[in-house]
Amino acid sequence: MKKMIKLFAAASLLSIFIASTAHAGAWKQNSHGWWWQDGDKSYPSSAWKWIDSDGDGMAECYYFDENGYLLTGTTAPDGSTVNESGAWTDQGIIRQKAANPAAARITNQKGMELYQEADQKSSGLPGLDITADIQMNLTYDWLDIPVSMNMRLKYHDLNTPNMEFLYLTTMDMLGISTSETSFYTRGCYYLDAGMYDKYKMNIGYEDMTRNITLGGLTGQFGAFLDNVQIADGDAGNKILMYSSKAEGLETYLTNFYDEIWPTLSDSNYKINRIDGKAVISPEGYFSKESISIYMTVTEEEESLGMLMNMNLDYNNPGKAVSIEFPSTEGYEEVIY
């Protein structure tokens, strides 16, 4: 027991030491401006530095010029914005990160709970109306290939006799545009893939539910959140900013893409980084999500870099979803 008490005391002292050294240093000022002096009397110059000035466990990021002075109320050399206090801001939000392991654990846990609660609540709605804008850039040697996708998904009353959905997709790549429309109403599934490919199929709502994945865009990364920041937004919204742990993500996304994007799921890819931001409404629903995925895709010993930026808007979450369907004329019937 005495040994356990000593170990506990040592661990406690170590935690205090880590927390205190996370903001070791002090702000200094002269007639030219402010600078940060570290505990060893050195100071940052031509660089960003995370500083927990008030010792609350959350650090802000500051940029110091070539002479070591703090930039304020301007734009840093990399294009980032700093406010009048010199803190890095993103769309008006002061960016923060945990300054020590204890603060990181607490903030990550709070962020995970907030995210998963919003996912549960949004996924449990009888209907959703989601607009998705997806911009990708594929890089191979000297070649850059931009790809643009826009999607609109509306559904209500899944897995009930009243089930309906509408799914619109457009894609632009190398100057070629394609579009696809699929919808389900009154027990019939319709697919318009363009180029005169129009099919319809009578299928019960239970079988239809088993053969679709409509909730795949919602709350993808709740189990992998890291480096979380929680901020207050406008109109009572909560804003959750995060990166995602890479471990386990490849397996998760392979299963995800098997259903959403089968072509990509056949490739061997490595997740390098994921950054995200979720806006959660006062009622606890997702309102917006922005997700950036950095990965390397390998096929037949050839590798290419891929950056995917997804912006999701959840239109009027919690409200009834009404759907206006295209004409059902001109579809060839096929048997399920």
Tens digit of each residue's pLDDT (9 = 90 or more) over 156-170: 998 899 999 999 999
Look at residue 18 in the predicted model and tell me its pLDDT.
Answer: 36
Which residue from 94, 17, 96, 23 is spatially nearest to 59, judged by alpha carbons? 96
How far is Cα of residue 271 from the mean position of the Cα atoms in its chain?
A: 14
- Who wins on pLDDT, 79 or 141? 79
Which residue from 118, 202, 215 is spatially nearest to 167, judged by alpha carbons? 215
Range 3-23 average pLDDT:
37
Amino acid at 158: L
Report the mean per-residue pLDDT for the chain. Answer: 84
Q: What are residue 235's phi and psi, to 5 degrees?
A: 55, 35
Q: Is residue 6 scored above 60 in pLDDT?
A: no
Q: Is residue 299 scored above 80 in pLDDT?
A: no
Look at residue 13 in the predicted model and tell me its pLDDT.
Answer: 35
- Who wins on pLDDT, 87 or 214? 87
Q: Is residue 145 scored above 50 in pLDDT?
A: yes
Look at residue 313 in the predicted model and tell me its pLDDT.
Answer: 96
Look at residue 130 in the predicted model and tell me its pLDDT.
Answer: 94
Q: What are residue 12's phi and psi, to 5 degrees?
A: -65, -45
Q: Is residue 7 scored above 80 in pLDDT?
A: no
Measured distance CA(275)–CA(292) in Å, rounded: 5
Range 55-66 average pLDDT:
94
Residue 225 pLDDT grade (very low, low, confident, very high; cuts 50, 70, 90): confident
CA angle at 229 for the pair 225 and 235, rounded to the nearest 5°: 115
Residue 128 pLDDT grade (very low, low, confident, very high; cuts 50, 70, 90): very high
Q: Are 184 and 336 in contact (CB under 8 A)?
A: no
Measured distance CA(82)–CA(62) in Å, rounded: 8
Q: Are 271 and 295 in contact (CB under 8 A)?
A: yes
Q: Are 176 and 125 in contact (CB under 8 A)?
A: no
**Least-confidence region, from 57-71, 120-134, 176-190, 199-213:** 199-213
Distances from the Cα of 293 to the Cα of 243, 254, 309, angstroms? 10, 14, 7
Q: Is residue 4 scored above 70 in pLDDT?
A: no
Q: Is residue 15 scored above 60 in pLDDT?
A: no
Q: Is residue 1 scored above 50 in pLDDT?
A: no
Tokens of 83: 């406010």
Distances from the Cα of 78 to the Cα of 36, 81, 274, angstroms? 20, 9, 20
- Who wins on pLDDT, 49 or 261? 49
DSSP 8-state class, residue 70:
B
Q: Is residue 214 scored above 90 in pLDDT?
A: no
How far is Cα of residue 314 from the mean position of the Cα atoms in its chain?
A: 14
Q: For residue 129, what are the contacts with CB-CB under 8 A and spacing of at least 6?
A: 153, 154, 314, 315, 316, 321
Residue 26 pLDDT grade (very low, low, confident, very high; cuts 50, 70, 90): very high
Tens digit of each residue's pLDDT (9 = 90 or more) over 80-98: 999 999 999 998 899 999 9
How far is Cα of residue 99 from the mean position of the Cα atoms in its chain?
A: 22
**Least-confidence region, from 46-60, 121-135, 290-304:** 290-304
Tens digit of each residue's pLDDT (9 = 90 or more) over 241-288: 998 766 666 666 665 555 555 555 556 778 888 899 999 999 999 999
Q: Are 242 and 224 in contact (CB under 8 A)?
A: no
Which residue from 116, 87, 132 is spatially nearest to 223, judged by alpha carbons? 116
Q: Give the H or E element holding residue 201.
A: strand 198-202
